[in-house]
Amino acid sequence: MKKLLVEFIGTFFLVLTITVGAVCGKAGDFAPLAIGATLMIMVFAGGHISGGHFNPAVSLGAMLRGALPSKDIVGYIIAQILGAVVASIVGTKLIAPEVAVETATISTVPAFVAELLYTFALVYVVLNTATAKGTDGNSFYGLAIGFTVVVGAFTVGSISLGAFNPAVAVGLVVSGKLAAAQIWIPLVACFLGGALAAFTFNFANGKD
């Protein structure tokens, strides 16, 4: 339960920053930096307890890599999605209720490719900086993970909404930014990207 609480809290603040800063526009052009910084500080805060996933695709990648017991993944994903849903409601209903969120339309192929590639990058970075023996005990993993999201958000945020995270995608639907009919795009792309990152990690790192 301690791990699930940490996953809920970290995902909550990540999605709250996305909702208020990006969806409601309160962070302006600096939204990607705010989002990446939030992920960074939450990873540093909770990484030693739960692994600091805050992302079902990361949890899937960690499980396939052998860094998360398979019995834990369902609980992790539920905690992450609950954190995203609550954060989206708090952000749109309590913090920025005056903002009328406009639903975005994303193009299927560009959005799918963008979400796939940058989720792959994110999970690949997480596995190599936070779970690999070669980087064990480092003090930079949170910064590397957070800035991967910053890069992805600046680069393809206008194309795919820059979720790179199935829980974030759920939050975007709850806030009204992403149409429910299009949620399959980030969901499929993110889980596929996470799985591919794990397989790549396992191949490149051998018996790490």
Q: What is the pLDDT of residues 125-159, one digit of tens each?
A: 999 999 998 898 898 999 999 999 999 999 999 99
Q: Which fold has domain 2-205?
A: Glycerol uptake facilitator protein (1.20.1080)
Q: What is the pLDDT of residues 9-30, one digit of tens each?
A: 999 999 999 999 999 999 999 9
> Whats the size of the chain, residue-wise?
208
Whole-prediction pTM value?
0.94
Asked if residues 127 and 67 have their Cβ atoms less than 8 Å apart, the reply is yes
The domain segmentation of the chain, as residue ranges, is 2-205
3-state secondary structure of 151: helix
Distance of CA 126 to the CA centre of its chain: 11
Buried-state track 58-80, b at ≥16 Cβ within 10 A, e below 16: bbbbbbbbebbeeebbeebbebb
User: What is d(CA 10, CA 20) in angstroms, rounded to the nearest whole number?
Assistant: 16
Asked if residues 84 and 170 have their Cβ atoms less than 8 Å apart, the reply is yes
Asked if residues 195 and 189 have their Cβ atoms less than 8 Å apart, the reply is no
Six-digit token string for 55: 């992302």
- pLDDT-based confidence at residue 208 (cuts at 50, 70, 90): confident
Q: What is the pLDDT of residues 65-91, one digit of tens each?
A: 999 999 999 999 999 999 999 999 999
User: What is d(CA 165, CA 187) in angstroms, rounded to the nearest whole number?
Assistant: 8
User: What is d(CA 142, CA 134) in angstroms, rounded to the nearest whole number?
Assistant: 16
- pLDDT-based confidence at residue 178 (cuts at 50, 70, 90): very high
Mean of per-residue pLDDT scores for the chain: 96
User: What is d(CA 13, CA 19) in angstroms, rounded to the nearest whole number?
Assistant: 10
